[in-house]
Amino acid sequence: MPVDIFMTQLSPTMTEGKIARWLKTEGESVESGEVMAEIETDKATMELEAIDDGVMYKILAPEGAVVPVGTVIAVVAEEGESVPDDYQPDAAADHNDANTPVTTEAAAEALSEMVQTAPAAADNEELQLKPAGVFNADGDYDVVMIGAGPGGYVAAIRAAQLGLKTACIESTHLGGICLNWGCIPTKALLRTAELVQVIRGHGDELGLGVQGMTPQIDVAVARSRKISEKLNKGIGFLFRKNKVTHIEGTARFEPGNRLMVDDASGNTQQVTAKHVIIATGARARAFPGMEVDDEVVITYKQALIPKETPKELVVIGSGAIGMEFAYFYNAMGAKVTVIEAADQILPLEDTEIAKTVARSFKKQGIKIITSAMVSSARQQDGRAVVEYRRGDKMESMTADRCLVAVGVVANSDGIGLEHTQVVTERQNIVVDDWYRTDHPGVYAIGDVIGAPALAHVASHEGIVCVEAIAGKHPHAVDYGNVPGCTYCQPQVGSCGKTEQQCQDEGIPIKVGRMAYAPNGKAMGLGETEGMVKTIFHAETGELLGAHIVGAEATELIVALQLARTLETTEAELIHHMFPHPTLSEMIHESVLDSQDRAIHQ
């Protein structure tokens, strides 16, 4: 007899699930243990397996439908079995007159009354059904990337792996800002700063015996440039290995679905492609009144290649970029002041974590001014003059250099979007869950579509985008579990919600904390400043957020971010055995603390 397939409770707290996609179609054979469908819950995507052999007779819940647990979503029949027209799934009987025969079609109608389709689910269903469209149906390439940053070059390589003929248009640097003028060279400089601070702060107790150390900023900068150059060449090798064509030049759209490329010699060529992905990234933002001249009032690019260490530096903005450069230049010997408009530094981080960094920076000699709105930053007689308001009072200060680190703005201008149907909001390109714009065959990924402007987000978006183009049905990016990392010392790593966000949303929580100070590995490293903070749902045990400040926080946070991806609760983390002696033991103690079970505090 036919077998009803129910929406199974795949986790202890699951009350409903969304049909992400069916892996079996009507009339297709089903074997016991095979995955029939992927089900999305509020926490993760899980697989629904068949318990018997048979044939998929009828699918009652379409892709995108949100279905309560216990509802029949499909019917499987035995091989060769004839299913009567009046066959009635068990769950449908509960919602109809018992004396009225119900066909599977009628059951589907009953199901539609039971299913609550959220707006996101409806959008996903539309994405599954609506043709993506193409830019040029007879294009020479299947996919062309505009930009070779961490979004564009990763997407290009993945597209080539999927068998798509791929090209990447880039005029300047393979690897983009991240590899050449951002993430990578910055981390190289920060390594120098870290060692300087270790020797200055702990050299005697570690028995290093280093006397009269003078940092050589020119040597540190030269090393960082060599690292970027090496990685840049590495991407070129990966392009050749994967048969990705690198087209050198600057791309722009023209009327009639034309994509033109201008090279450095002034030559122009048309590049034709079925699909075009815009991955042009972003550039440093400067608000009105901030007169960036790239000499005295500078952005991150000039901050990466100083000829000498300024005696005094003002940093406007205390996000990751501002804090990392403040730390670096302070270690190199500059007198550093950080000015932030919000009431705390690192405004996106948990308040406790931000306070820990603020205390550390002040001990290092860095001055921090919060709740200060900068009205102007300009060069005057070879010095930077910065004016700002705190409350009702206007104040000003001068320095040798002023670094403007107040965020980025999308590079969506200058590429001819006015000749397309692409929509922008505040200069960010508007896309759907699969990164399609309103222009058929044109997509956008990375910083050009807005926050979070992070290299790993752009790479992830690029992979999802090209896999969707190739019909591989990828999972949409989970923007609620993006890891944030700041590489100053102490480092900051975070994922999920902050304690304040949970309170604002009325979520009942349990919070655990563990300081670095009692940890044996931290003592051995001479890095006892910091803490691990874990936030759990008080009723379900779901890990809502994790925040770490201290040595190797950017490495440690991965474990807790992965735990969130795997829907781990406090119970699994408590049961898990952590190695000793390690910094990771603090994760265990923090989780134990949320249950008032901490051993070492």
Q: Answer whether residue 507 is part of any domain.
A: yes
Confidence at 166, pLDDT banded by 50, 70, 90: very high
- Per-residue pLDDT band for 324 (boundaries 50, 70, 90) equals very high
- Same domain for 540 and 521, yes or no, is yes
Domain assignment present for 256: yes
- Tell me which of 232 and 142 has the higher pLDDT: 142
**154 touches 462 (CB < 8 A):** yes
Residue 419 pLDDT grade (very low, low, confident, very high; cuts 50, 70, 90): very high
Mean pLDDT on 213-218: 90
Could you tell me the CATH number of the domain that includes residue 346? 3.50.50.60
The pLDDT of 456-464, averaged and rounded, is 96
Q: What is the pLDDT of residue 125?
A: 38
The verdict on 166 and 274 lying in the same domain is: yes
Sheet-wide strand order for 45-49: 45-49, 35-40, 16-22, 66-68
Rounded Cα distance between 48 and 41, Å, is 12
What pTM did the predictor assign?
Answer: 0.77
Q: Whose CA is closest to 491, among 553, 556, 559, 583? A: 553
Kindly state whether residue 520 falls inside one of the protein's structural domains: yes
How sure is the predictor about 129, in pLDDT bands with cuts at 50, 70 and 90? very low
Are residues 524 and 455 located together in one domain of the fold? no
Examine the domain organization and report whether 115 and 254 are in the same domain.
Answer: no
Tokens matching residue 528: 């006892």
Which phi and psi (to 5°) does residue 347 adopt? -60, -25
- In this predicted structure, the answer to whether residue 12 has a pLDDT above a threshold of 70 is no
* pLDDT beyond 50 at 479: yes
- Please state, in angstroms and rounded to a whole number, the distance separating the CA atoms of residues 20 and 16: 13
Task: With respect to residue 134, please indicate whether it lies within any of the assigned structural domains.
Answer: no
Q: What letter does residue 436 receive in the DSSP assignment?
A: B
Amino acid identity at 14: M
Task: With a cut of 80, say whether residue 71 has pLDDT above it.
Answer: yes
Instruction: For residue 246, list its beta bridge partners.
Output: 168
Mean pLDDT of 417-425: 95
Nearest Cα neighbor of 330 from 462, 482, 489 is 489
pLDDT of 117: 40
pLDDT band with cut points at 50, 70 and 90 for residue 122: very low
Cα–Cα distance list, 268 to 135, 253, 259, 428, 554 (Å): 19, 12, 10, 27, 44
Sheet containing 268-271: give its strands across: 250-254, 258-262, 268-271
What is the mean pLDDT of the segment spanning 493-506? 96
Looking at 84, 100, 129, which one is the last position of a domain?
Answer: 129
* Mean confidence (pLDDT) of the chain: 89
Q: Mean pLDDT lowest for which of 85-89, 378-382, 480-484, 575-579?
A: 85-89
Chain segment 383-411, per-residue pLDDT in tens: 999 999 999 999 999 999 999 999 899 99
Q: How does strand 297-298 pair with strand 401-404?
A: parallel
Domain closes at, from 108, 129, 150: 129
Number of structural domains (the chain) is: 4
> Do 503 and 518 fall into the same domain?
yes
What token pair was written down for 494? 């975070």
156 belongs to a structural domain: yes
Can you give the pLDDT at residue 115? 44
Q: Which residues are catalytic?
A: 580
Which helix (H) or strand (E) segment holds residue 235: the answer is helix 217-241
What is d(CA 573, CA 595) in angstroms, rounded to the nearest whole number?
12
Say if 178 falls within a structural domain. Answer: yes
What is the spatial distance between Cα 211 and Cα 598, in angstroms, rounded to a whole number? 42
pLDDT band (50, 70, 90) for residue 531: very high
Task: For residue 136, give the H/E element and its range.
Answer: none
In a domain, 531, yes or no: yes
Q: What is the pLDDT of residues 243-287, one digit of tens each?
A: 999 999 999 999 999 999 999 889 999 999 999 999 999 998 888
Cα dihedral 19, 43, 33, 103 in deg (nearest 10): -30
Distance CA 547, CA 318 (A): 18
User: Which pLDDT value is given to residue 183?
Assistant: 87
Looking at the fold, whether 381 and 416 belong to one and the same domain comes out as no
Final residue of a structural domain among 373, 406, 439: 406
Q: Say if residue 111's pLDDT is above 80.
A: no
Cβ neighbours of 536 (radius 10 Å) = 25
Domain co-membership, 317 together with 421? no
Using CB atoms within 10 A of its CB, is residue 410 exposed (0-12), middle (13-18) or buried (19+)? buried
- Domain with 73, as residue range(s), is 3-129
pLDDT at residue 470 is higher than 60: yes
The reply to whether 135 falls in a domain is no
Q: Is the dihedral of CA 149, 482, 449, 183 positive or negative?
A: negative
* Helix axis angle, 585-594 to 553-565, nearest 10°: 50
Q: Give the CA distances from residue 292 to residues 63, 238, 279, 410, 519, in Å, rounded to whole numbers and listed in that order.
A: 51, 36, 25, 18, 45
Q: Is the pLDDT of residue 328 over 50?
A: yes
Lowest mean pLDDT among 171-185, 303-317, 484-498, 575-589: 171-185
Domain check: are 50 and 164 in the same one?
A: no
Average pLDDT over residues 63-77: 87
CATH code (residue 535): 3.30.390.30
pLDDT of amino acid 155:
97
Which residue has better confidence, 421 or 47? 421
pLDDT on residue 92 = 43
User: Would you say residue 582 has pLDDT above 90?
Assistant: yes
pLDDT at 130 over 80: no
Residues 34 and 108 in one domain: yes
Helix axes 217-241, 152-161, angle to 10 degrees: 30
User: 314 and 187: one domain?
Assistant: no
Q: Which helix (H) or strand (E) holds 438?
A: none
Residues 547, 447: one domain?
Answer: no
Residue 537, pLDDT > 70, answer yes
Q: Do 533 and 415 reside in the same domain of the chain?
A: no
